[in-house]
Amino acid sequence: MIAYSKCVLLVCDPNQMRMPLRAILEHEGYIVVQVHDGTQALSEMHLHHFDAVVTDAFLPDCTARVLLDRAQSSWPEMPVILFSRADWDTCDLAEIQGGFAWIRKSAHPGILLSVLALATERGAERESVRAQEALSA
């Protein structure tokens, strides 16, 4: 297991896509909190710390751009990964808006797992640097 109990927020609709993805992530050792829209995602982000967010580009109540904007304003260092059937224009939008990565849903799950491992590893490195800076201050 590569995740070592990293907590991931999974924002995906409909349920038939979310449940298999949750099972894959949990099998790899991630703790997964799943929601079906942007409003629920933001609510969960206010309540809990997440090491990363995996979201669809199009949600029932907002787009990934809106979710990215709101997440980046409150949690600028939290990696947000778009996992969607959307076109390449959304990929560019994700990078412009601060998204960590964009992966097509049709891609092999190993790609998502690799990107997620990289995203959570970088987050852990940033937290370690901040802790060291606080100790030396």
Q: Answer for the pair 71, 55: CB distance below 8 angstroms, yes or no.
A: no
CA angle, corner 42, sides to 36 and 64, nearest 5? 65
pLDDT digits (tens, 9 = 90+) for 43-60: 999 999 999 999 887 788
Q: What six digits make up the tokens of 60?
A: 């029932």
Q: Which of the four pLDDT bands, split at 50, 70 and 90, describes residue 1?
A: very low
- pLDDT at res. 118: 94
Q: What six digits make up the tokens of 91?
A: 């990929």
- pLDDT at res. 109: 83
pLDDT digits (tens, 9 = 90+) for 59-100: 888 877 788 888 989 999 899 998 877 666 655 555 556 788
- Measured CA to CA, the distance from residue 129 to residue 135 in angstroms comes to 10
Q: What six digits make up the tokens of 56?
A: 């669809």
Mean pLDDT to the nearest integer, 107-116:
86
The residue ranking higher by pLDDT, 19 or 130, is 19
- pLDDT at res. 34: 93
**Residues paired with 11 in a beta bridge:** 35, 55
| Secondary structure of residue 9 in the 3-state scheme | strand
Closest CA to 54 of 64, 46, 62: 64
pLDDT digits (tens, 9 = 90+) for 112-137: 999 999 999 875 555 544 444 444 55
- pLDDT at res. 94: 52
- pLDDT at res. 102: 78
CATH class of the domain at 7-136: alpha beta
